[in-house]
Amino acid sequence: MALNPSTINQPLVNEPRVRIAITSGEPAGIGPDICIMLAQHKIDADITVIGDSNMLSARAKQLNMRFESFKVLHVPTSEPVTAGILNSANSQYVLNTLTNAIDGCLNNRFDAIVTAPVHKGVINEAGVTFSGHTEFLAEHTNTPLVVMMLVGGGLRVALATTHLALKDIPAAITQESLETTIRILHLDLMTKFGLKNPRILVAGLNPHAGEDGHLGMEEIEIINPVLDKLRAEGMVLVGALPADTLFTNKYLDNADAVLAMYHDQGLPVLKYASFGSGVNITLGLPIIRTSVDHGTALDLAGTGNIDIGSMQVAVDLAIDLARKKMP
């Protein structure tokens, strides 16, 4: 799968500076560290980190780094933060940073959001149902369906379902939902990534893509009818393909993106190819959102022993997408 070289962070003369909001994520994790370490680098954009200014200053001191080049939109934590130790009392704070970022984009204060990692478990322990950034962004922008896509390692992998238990996935894949997902993916590949007529590989749900119905009927009853319908409209869709052979050069060399049916079908391959430099992007939103491809790494918080490559690439992609959207 060939990805076009990016012109990220190379603005034209007199081009307006992009305004990026970075949510600092779970305060006990490496999100604050990443923001502080990122601030040590020159970035051709106006960056605002959304988080508790006192917590960020304390973490910068712990890392023995200055934190002065980015603006901070102060959102207070409920209780003091200790690097590496989760506190469910600060779960609402994490959601408040996201809400501020979303509202800022909707109100034209920011051009894009980049999110540092959050800890889903501790948010749910606080009594708030939270399955991930993707779903939260959809709810708070009143978007009926969004598509999660990761980019990295020469791959673009989108998901037909996101953070669901494996047992719930078959029921979640309907002809209607799959058609909408493919339409969103196809449109954003054209409008956001500049692909005139994207070629999309579509994985089957079952082993061997159902083996003609002997290993499951979802391909015959749901996936293939949708693909046939959209092919008739001119979309270039290949599948349903067995997932165990889809990720080979035979298919990827001539593809622009892959649509996997569920999280752990598509993302292990992409993360193996790109971990540390992958980017999560939410398609179908009225705003631009990118994210790192890793978790909170509580054991590394406050140590400075982390790789910020994924955040750098996420910021670069957000800048690039925002510039393309500018009139």
What pLDDT is attached to residue 108?
96
CATH topology of domain 1-143+285-327: Isopropylmalate Dehydrogenase (3.40.718)
Structure token pair of residue 60: 């910068």
CA distances from 204 to 199, 248, 279, 286 (A): 16, 15, 24, 29
Among 5-14, 72-81, 83-92, 215-224, name the one with the lowest average pLDDT. 5-14
| 201-227 average pLDDT score | 96
**CA 140 – CA 124 distance, rounded (Å):** 18
Contacts of 325 (CB under 8 A, 6+ apart): 111, 288
Name the band, by pLDDT with cuts 50, 70 and 90, for residue 163. confident
Name the band, by pLDDT with cuts 50, 70 and 90, for residue 5. very low
Delimit the domains of the chain by residue range.
1-143+285-327, 145-284
* Per-residue pLDDT tens over the stretch 144-154: 999 999 999 99
**CA 198 – CA 181 distance, rounded (Å):** 14
Q: What is the mean pLDDT of the chain?
A: 93
CA atoms within 13 A on the CB side of 179: 13
Name the band, by pLDDT with cuts 50, 70 and 90, for residue 325. confident
What pLDDT is attached to residue 3?
53
Alpha-carbon torsion, ordered 209, 214, 218, 220, to 10 deg: 90
**CA 52 – CA 73 distance, rounded (Å):** 8
What pLDDT is attached to residue 11?
46
What pLDDT is attached to residue 86?
97
3-state secondary structure the chain: CCCCCCCCCCCCCCCCCCEEEEECCCCCCCHHHHHHHHCCCCCCCEEEEEECHHHHHHHHHHHCCCCCCCEEEECCCCCCCECCECCHHHHHHHHHHHHHHHHHHHCCCCCEEEECCCCHHHHHHCCCCCCCHHHHHHHHCCCCCCEEEEEECCEEEEECCCCCCHHHHHHHCCHHHHHHHHHHHHHHHHHCCCCCCCEEEEECCCHHHHCCCCCCCHHHHHHHHHHHHHHCCCCEEEEEECHHHHCCHHHHCCCCEEEECCHHHHHHHHHHHHCCCCEEEEECCCCCEEEECCCCCHHHCCCCCCCCHHHHHHHHHHHHHHHHHCC
* Per-residue pLDDT tens over the stretch 54-98: 999 999 999 999 999 999 999 999 999 999 999 999 999 999 999
Alpha-carbon torsion, ordered 128, 131, 132, 134, to 10 deg: -120
* Per-residue pLDDT tens over the stretch 240-266: 999 999 999 999 999 999 999 999 999
Is there a shared CATH topology between the 1-143+285-327 domain and the 145-284 domain?
yes
Residue 288 has φ and ψ, to the nearest 5°, of: -95, 130
- Maximum CA pair distance of the chain? 61
Quick check: 243 and 226 in contact, CB under 8 A?
Answer: no
What pLDDT is attached to residue 216?
94
Quick check: 307 and 33 in contact, CB under 8 A?
Answer: no
Quick check: 272 and 279 in contact, CB under 8 A?
Answer: no
* Res. 10: pLDDT tops 80: no
Among 164-173, 208-217, 274-283, name the one with the lowest average pLDDT. 274-283
Quick check: 19 and 326 in contact, CB under 8 A?
Answer: no
- The whole-model pTM stands at 0.87
The CATH number of the structural domain formed by 145-284 is 3.40.718.10
